[in-house]
Every structure is written in C-alpha cells, then in structure tokens.
Amino acid sequence: MQPIGVFDSGVGGLSVLQSLRAELPREDIVYLADSAHAPYGERAEAFVVQRALAVTGRLRTEHRIKALVVACNTATAAAIHALRAAYPGLPIVGVEPALKPATRTSRTRRIGVMATRRTLESTKFQILLDSLACEADFVLQPCDGLAHAVETDDEAQTIALCQQHTGAMGRFGSAPGEIDTVVLGCTHYPFARTHLQRMLGPQVQLIDTGEAVARQTRVLLEDKGKLAPEGAEPGVVTLLATGDAGRLRDAAARWLTEPCQPAAPAGAAQSPAPLPCSLQ
C-alpha cells in the first residue's frame, strides 16, 4: 500500500502526524524531518523552496507516496505553489495559520498570531490576513527562536521565549480589547501548549491546524479513490531524518500517543536500529 508522505524542517510536524493518525489510522505514513536544514522559519525563501522540492522528490522516488502533507507553515507559504506545479498529479495538503477558525471562536475580536518571521512576511499569509481584515484585529508576533527551542527540547529556553513573545503581544483575557484567542502558526508550537496555556490563563483559547489538515487529507484521498480499505490493518509510520535521527525518535516517543516504526537501513529487516538519514 502506498504511504502518505509528511515532511517538516524538524520535529514540529509530529503535531500534524498525530492528527493524521487519529483521522486515518489505516494509512501508512512516511514522516521526514529535514533537521539538517532546520529551522526553515529563519531561512531565505529560495532555500526553503529548494529543500521542499528535494524532500518531495525523494519521497516520491524512494517511497512512492500517494499524497503529500507539508507539515510546516513556512514551507507551505514559500513552496506550496512550486510543489503543485512540479507534481500536478500528487494530492498536496499544506498548513497555514488558523486565522479563519480563530475568527469564529473569538468573542473580543482580538486575536494573537504566533508564527515564524518567514511565515508572517510571506505573500500567502498576507493574502489570508487581508481577506479577514474586517473580521478581527490580529496581533502578529514573530517568535524568533521558539521553533528551535522546541526542536532541541530545551525546556528552559522554550519557557523563556514563550514569556518573551506573549509579553510583547499585549493583554490577554476575555474583556474588551484583550486577546482571547491565540493562533499557533508553526507546527512546533503545539508542543509548547502547556507552557503557553499556563501563562495566558484558561480563558484564552489556543488554536492549531492539525485536525483541519487531517480532514482535508482524507477528502483528497477519497476524491482520488486512494483511501486505505475499511478492513485494512492499522497503518505503519516510518520516521526519517536528514540530521540527528535520535532526536526525532526521542521526540516521537515523547509526544506521540502511538509507537512508530523506525526505518531500517536499505536491505535490512525492520529493527530498533537508529533512523537513517535518507537525504543529504
């Protein structure tokens, strides 16, 4: 059975993988962390496009993926159009900051958006923001360093950066003029959710995009007649990394509710061997 391909610059896309597993439990999934080149959010746009095309090409060639999920806001903003042009027959789902859902839930109409600087500066994000300008007042916060802190499991730095970035956004709460909804506009940030919720208080709602991405992936596979059959066995998740494979394996063990199948070197049986670096 052909797998779904998922990639991110590192471990952040595991938050999307979790939602995909919940929505599509019978699908095989190959997750690739391009960690040798992370974080994308602090890279030039041309570099992100080049990496997205290289990663997708390898997933298509080596793993024959039937669909692609770009589990990275920065890569979606920079490269989704290039990917669709390069692979017109491949169903591709990207992620974007969940501004639309936030406008439906916010009561104060003041919404915070935490994202990488590259995402916030992208044309794709600006078009989305302009389309909702009349719906709410958006407070944009580039969260320099936060994705890297989550990626490296530096809890002290993650907490410090959460405090720094939320402190720069203004007042949070349910009163008029206060931010009552925060969009987590990077797939790494849901792994800092516990710290953020504690800082902002229970009255502030945090929104990410994992569930919506998983539902859209199902819709595209149904339209193409490529869903795994109802009676199929539970799917297998294979993890690949271009950088520190042990970090990806440890992050999956820490954050995912189900175990994943590590990838073995070519020609070897599946085993607990270290994850291979499948891209250079």
Give domain status of residue 267, yes or no. no
How many H-runs (helices) and E-runs (strands) does the chain carry?
11, 10
Q: How many CB atoms lie within 10 A of CB 70?
A: 28
| Owning domain of residue 174 | 99-208
Quick check: is 134 catalytic?
no
Same domain, 85 and 219: yes
| Ramachandran bin of 56, using left for φ above 0, alpha for ψ from -120 to 50, beta for the remaining angles | alpha
Q: Which of 143, 162, 186, 260 is catalytic?
A: 186
Side-chain-side CA neighbours of 13 within 13 Å: the count stands at 34
Residues 234-269: tens digit of each pLDDT = 999 999 999 888 888 888 888 886 655 554 333 333
- What is the residue-averaged pLDDT of the chain? 90
Residue 274: per-residue pLDDT? 36
Same domain, 189 and 140: yes
CA separation for the pair 114, 93 (Å, rounded): 21
Residues 212-221: tens digit of each pLDDT = 999 999 999 9
Phi, psi torsion values for 66, nearest 5 degrees? -100, -10
pTM metric for this prediction: 0.84
How many independent structural domains does the chain possess? Answer: 2
Q: Is the pLDDT of residue 270 over 50?
A: no
Quick check: is 186 catalytic?
yes
Q: Which of 172, 191, 208 is the last residue of a domain?
A: 208
Give domain status of residue 84, yes or no. yes
Residues 33-66: tens digit of each pLDDT = 999 998 888 889 999 999 999 999 999 999 999 9
Same domain, 85 and 111: no
Residues 50-106: tens digit of each pLDDT = 999 999 999 999 999 999 999 999 999 999 999 999 999 999 999 999 999 999 999
Q: Which of 72, 143, 162, 260 is catalytic?
A: 72
Residue 269: per-residue pLDDT? 33
